[in-house]
Structure 1
Amino acid sequence: MCRSSKPDPAVPRRAFPAVAVAAATDVCISNNIKDRKLDQIPIAHPEVEFINGGPPCQGFSGMNRFNQSPWSKVQCEMILAFLSFAEYFRPRFFLLENVRNFVSFNKGQTFRLTLASLLEMGYQVRFGILEAGAFGVAQSRKRAFIWAAAPGETLPDWPEPMHVFASPELKIILPDGKYYAAAMSTDGGAPFRSMTVRDTIGDLPPVENGASKPTIQYGSEPVSWFQKKIGGATPSLSDHIAKEMNELNLIRYRHIPKRPGCDWKDHPDEKVKLSTGQMVELIPWCLPNTARRHNQWKGLYGRLDWEGNFPTSVTDPQPMGKVGMCFHPDQDRIITVHECARSQGFPDGYRFAGNIQSKHRQIGNAVPPPLAYALGRKLKQAIDAKH
């Protein structure tokens, strides 16, 4: 069935530049939704007070080797569809999240259009880039955010970094040549030290390549503040499962020394024999032959450093991916779903749906919960300030 959702004529509407989205057209609702749930779906202003989300970022991401593909371009255009929700529902607060490259994509035109559209609607707007590692996760993850608040509301401020994290000041260059930074660099210090890989996953029991048991015994005690906060002394662990590598990749990983920063360049230049009797090069041919054009393919087939941090969490960890450093510091396997979830700051009790690929995708697409919590506190402060 389709349910008409015309805008309230009493609510003022302003032009929405360059966004050809019919937000006021009928909203079709699938027949499989029970009638009792239809009443819970917001229809128009002022039923929605807060909209937040991250339109698909793969089209803007520098980690996507296919960001010029037709599907990536469709994903980029979903920014307009997301903005149309703000134009139609007119929430009190609006928060948009995307990758760091969203600010400079298409020479900044998409970013400026987003800001101009929200301003044209009458919203107050604040934009900036935050580093998740400065808010309590052992991961380098820079993300762009746009806050918007309706007239009469207090525009939420940015949370202050709480953890020292080795990252330059995250600046957005303005048209006049000046720059703006939402948060100060932590080079001068912060209340807490940075989180490490050991702080994050050092208490987890060892598992093998291709581990597939959905639940295993924890059998340990948390030894860091992060581990106690994330789960405490839980009797079991879910999703401590690992993607299974083929024989050649497993051999390659076993030849990576168990030292910080080691990757494919630490392989010996030799051939290895597979179980089929075939002799193959230990070093993939493409890596040394194209390394000069690709920053030496730094990190591919790389091991994590116990005293370092995770690279940016991706939706499909693999040794030849854009983020190839996805190997456990000591064990010969790709990091598990549970370890990836911890790198993002998900509590141990959180459950992910689907197969192992789907679970990695859900984790890799998420805003780290500690950063989301810090933003949420600022929203609460803004609401409290009004009262």
Structure 2
Amino acid sequence: MTNTVNLFLLGTLYIFDWVSTKEAAELAGKIDPETIGNLPMPGEVDFINGGPPCQGFSGMNRFNNSTWSKVQCEMILAFLSFVVYFCPRYFLLENVRNFVSFNKGQTFRLSLASLLDMGYQVRFGILEARAFGVARSRKRAFVWATAPGELLPEWPEPMHVFAGLELKIVAPGGISYAAVPSTAYGAPFRSITVRDAIGELPPVENGSSKLTIEYVSYPVSWFQKYIRENMMALNDHIFKEMNELNLIRCQRIPRCPGAEWRDLPDEKVKLSSGQTVDLIPWCLPNIARRHNQWKGLFGRLDLDGNFPISVTDPQPMGKVGMCFNPEQDRIITVRECACSQGFMDSYAFCGNIQNKHRQIRNVVPPPLAYALGRKLKEVIDMNQHSC
């Protein structure tokens, strides 16, 4: 089925042809007229923002050359097609840092060129969430675009010290560009630490499955006061239960900063089943040279440090194995991961434990999203005052 649409985009007539599948046409035909009537028309949308699936671009994905990952990478074109159709005043695209360099930068440059060809003003850059008040390092690539006649939002100023390198994008010709300055040498506020984020949360034991529990202490940092607000009870302070062997390993890991699998004693343990097994997994010491010494596996968080890279399934033998609570013998909880991303304690997550971790993992950390939103509000207010 072939369809043709004549669309006035920013004062220019564009003609688009596309081919829809039989299945797509059948599904579209089942949408009731009232629903269709409530959908916005081109020119009626002020703001479109989102992040196309990042798994295909992510360096953490061991299968980013698979067919499905390649399909996910191409979804960015589908996302840009919404801009073509709706002609929003403002547009914000977000993705992982590797989006900029993926496929030798061709996908990134295609996105920018597409927006520019449509007549939009464009600004791009990489921001570090920890510089905006998050307890973990999280680098995200952003693309702002605004229609002609609208002000282009500036980047928010980083407010927290972060001792990382300046995040630059190398443009064609070798020119380097940084959206915001590095805060490695100073900022108005210090970094948010693991202690700031989760230091006052009540203790829970391996196997605990209570979805709601009472707080047992008052907030001890301004960050804790901010995210708790007026909450009287804590939700989602739960985690996936460890098996007996991993629990024993966790109990043997010292409760000190940087402790990991290399701090385990080289001995065997007897399980309740009667089986005797090595406390240190065989693969860790035997192939460590090929895997950066398996750094961080079975690791404890440092109360005065930050959380590692966010993952959808925290586990001690995972790609990011530093997932043990600093002071308790267990994996970090859903709520602790949410605190590390800057979620308010009142925010509710849906589904099972892994679904909740995925919801936390996939977002732009709320403090960074808030900072970007304030910059958008500034230009909207300025446009209104100038009318």
TM-score over 0.5 for the alignment? yes
Flag structure 2 segments of 5+ consecutive residues without an equivalent.
none
The equivalent position to 2:107 in structure 1, one of 101, 105, 110, is 110
Q: Distance in 2 between matches of 1:272 and 1:302?
A: 20
Compared CA separation, residues 286 and 135, structure 1 to 2 (3 A):
same
1:24-39 aligned at under 5 Å gives the runs: 28-29=27-28, 37-39=35-37
Deviations 1:35-69 (A, max 9, x none): 65544322x31121111001111111111122122
1:45-60 aligned at under 5 Å gives the runs: 45-60=42-57
1:293-332 aligned at under 5 Å gives the runs: 293-332=290-329
Deviation at 1:28, TM superposition (A): 4.7
Deviation at 1:300, TM superposition (A): 1.2
Q: Distance in 2 between matches of 1:210 and 1:236?
A: 20
Compared CA separation, residues 215 and 30, structure 1 to 2 (3 A):
farther
Amino acid at match of 1:12: T
Deviation at 1:21, TM superposition (A): 8.4
Deviation at 1:233, TM superposition (A): 4.8
Alpha carbons 2:6, 2:14 under 8 Å: kept: no
Alpha carbons 1:7, 1:45 under 8 Å: kept: no
Q: Distance in 2 between matches of 1:206 and 1:266?
A: 24
Alpha carbons 1:303, 1:326 under 8 Å: kept: yes
Matched, 1:62 2:63: no
Computed over aligned residues only, the root mean square deviation of the Cα atoms, in angstroms, reads 2.3
Amino acid at match of 1:101: N
User: How many aligned positions are there?
Assistant: 378
Amino acid at match of 2:39: I
The structure with more strand, counted as a fraction of residues = 2
- The percentage of aligned residue pairs carrying the same residue is 71
Segment drifting more, 204-213 vs 287-296: 287-296
Alpha carbons 2:56, 2:72 under 8 Å: kept: yes
Partner of 1:379: 376
Deviation at 1:184, TM superposition (A): 0.5
Deviation at 1:206, TM superposition (A): 0.2
Secondary structure at the counterpart of residue 228 of structure 1:
helix
Q: Distance in 2 between matches of 1:363 and 1:199?
A: 18
Q: Distance in 1 between matches of 2:148 and 2:8?
A: 19
Partner of 2:73: 76
1:7-156 aligned at under 5 Å gives the runs: 8-9=7-8, 12-14=12-14, 28-29=27-28, 37-42=35-40, 44-156=41-153
Q: Distance in 2 between matches of 1:140 and 1:376?
A: 20
Secondary structure at the counterpart of residue 326 of structure 1:
strand
Deviation at 1:9, TM superposition (A): 4.9
Deviation at 1:171, TM superposition (A): 0.7
Alpha carbons 1:209, 1:245 under 8 Å: kept: yes
1:358-369 aligned at under 5 Å gives the runs: 358-369=355-366
Partner of 1:163: 160
Deviation at 1:311, TM superposition (A): 1.2
Q: Distance in 2 between matches of 1:208 and 1:143?
A: 34
Segment drifting more, 283-292 vs 339-348: 283-292
Compared CA separation, residues 82 and 329, structure 1 to 2 (3 A):
same
The equivalent position to 1:202 in structure 2, one of 199, 202, 226, is 199
Secondary structure at the counterpart of residue 49 of structure 2:
strand
Deviation at 1:205, TM superposition (A): 0.2
Deviations 1:313-346 (A, max 9, x none): 2211111222111110011111111111111111
Amino acid at match of 1:41: L
Amino acid at match of 1:69: S
Flag structure 1 segments of 5+ consecutive residues without an equivalent.
none
Partner of 2:352: 355
Partner of 1:177: 174
Amino acid at match of 2:308: P
Secondary structure at the counterpart of residue 312 of structure 2:
coil
Q: TM-score, normalised by structure 1?
A: 0.92
Alpha carbons 1:258, 1:303 under 8 Å: kept: yes
Compared CA separation, residues 9 and 136, structure 1 to 2 (3 A):
closer
Secondary structure at the counterpart of residue 163 of structure 1:
coil
1:211-290 aligned at under 5 Å gives the runs: 211-290=208-287
Compared CA separation, residues 68 and 191, structure 1 to 2 (3 A):
same
Q: Distance in 1 between matches of 2:18 and 2:199?
A: 51
